[in-house]
Amino acid sequence: MATLLLEHPVFAEHVVPSGHPERPQRLAAVASRLSAPAFAGLIRERAPRADLAAIEAVHDPAYVAAIQEAVPESGIVMIDSDTALSPKSVEAALHAAGAAIAAVDAVVAGRAANAFCAVRPPGHHAERRTPMGFCLFNSVAVAARHAQAKHGVARVAIVDWDVHHGNGTEDIFREDPSVLYVSTHQRGAYPGTGDASETGAGNIVNVPLPAGTGSEAYRAAFLERVVPAVDAFAPELILISAGFDAHWADPLAALELDEADFAWATNRLREVADRHSAGRIVSVLEGGYDLEGLGASVAAHVAALMA
């Protein structure tokens, strides 16, 4: 079986103000890298649009309605200091969640070995009732609930290696022991959450790292904290909130990883997935704002999924 890649042109139509880091060129950089001959074996599909019911499985229906009502007919409105809405933003967010759902369906059905969703806007900062940090709907959370509701997956592990803590994912699953949330992130970076003392119902594992953390220390923390936690949980499906802003060139944070570290982390999770999940991994793009670093990191990650 091959690796599935989910994309959609609507992601480029989520327009943000000039100079905003979460810009359409991010996915152009990813697409350019994944057009290389080494990626010819990918199964390439368009992301479908998620039903609102799937979104409302993790977000308050009143919140979903409010986001839809806030969409402008033209131009751009800011719903907080970081998060923009333009006419196609909600459509893009629905297709981003739809990509994660379709990836789960394909991987659980055995139609693909694993999957990567090249989507925007990102999702892991979106809480049950609050948009923030460029995020509207939490695609990874939607995918986890879908896996449970449609496929009867009893235990889902979400590993988030974005440099920023996924406060939204933690908010949604904090008291739900059927979902393990493990996050590596820069200590003290936006949004200021993710302390190691935050453990939820025993299903939250935060691994905050000091600014300047490089490959050696990151890999040690991953082996000491992330892999044992996921192994002990024995998930039937692993989801990755795959942000690449821990790359040394990223302008929004100060960890010092490179693309080889993301390939290495992918391989460690593949080993866990082989032990517990029949190899089933679905990865969803989150952050990553240096175009060269993002493209190179995604390419390394997807190559590791394909290997």
Q: Tell me the pLDDT band of 251, cut-offs 50, 70 and 90.
A: very high
Question: What is the value of pTM for the model shown?
Answer: 0.98
| 214 SS3 class | strand
Q: Tell me the pLDDT band of 277, cut-offs 50, 70 and 90.
A: very high
* pLDDT score of 18: 97
Mean pLDDT of 276-290: 98
Share of the chain above pLDDT 90, in %: 100
CB 90 within 8 A of CB 63: no
Q: Tell me the pLDDT band of 35, cut-offs 50, 70 and 90.
A: very high
* pLDDT score of 219: 98
* pLDDT score of 273: 98
Share of the chain above pLDDT 70, in %: 100
CATH fold for domain 3-306: Arginase; Chain A (3.40.800)
Mean pLDDT of 276-299: 98
Q: Tell me the pLDDT band of 305, cut-offs 50, 70 and 90.
A: very high
d(C-alpha 102, C-alpha 56), whole Å: 17
Q: What pLDDT, in 10s, does the model give residues 112-127? A: 999 999 999 999 999 9
Average pLDDT value over all residues in the chain: 98
Mean pLDDT of 72-95: 97
Q: Tell me the pLDDT band of 94, cut-offs 50, 70 and 90.
A: very high
Q: What pLDDT, in 10s, does the model give residues 100-115? A: 999 999 999 999 999 9
Q: Could you tell me the strand order of the sheet in which 114-117 lies?
A: 43-46, 3-7, 114-117, 281-285, 237-242, 156-160, 179-186, 204-209
Q: What pLDDT, in 10s, does the model give residues 64-79? A: 999 999 999 999 999 9
CB 230 within 8 A of CB 269: yes
Q: Tell me the pLDDT band of 228, cut-offs 50, 70 and 90.
A: very high
Active site residue 301: no
* pLDDT score of 295: 98
Q: What angle do CA 198, 201, 234 make, to 5 degrees?
A: 105
From residue 137, alpha-carbon distances to 144, 147, 259, 278 in Å are 13, 17, 27, 28
Write down the catalytic residue from 125, 164, 165, 247: 125
CB 228 within 8 A of CB 268: no
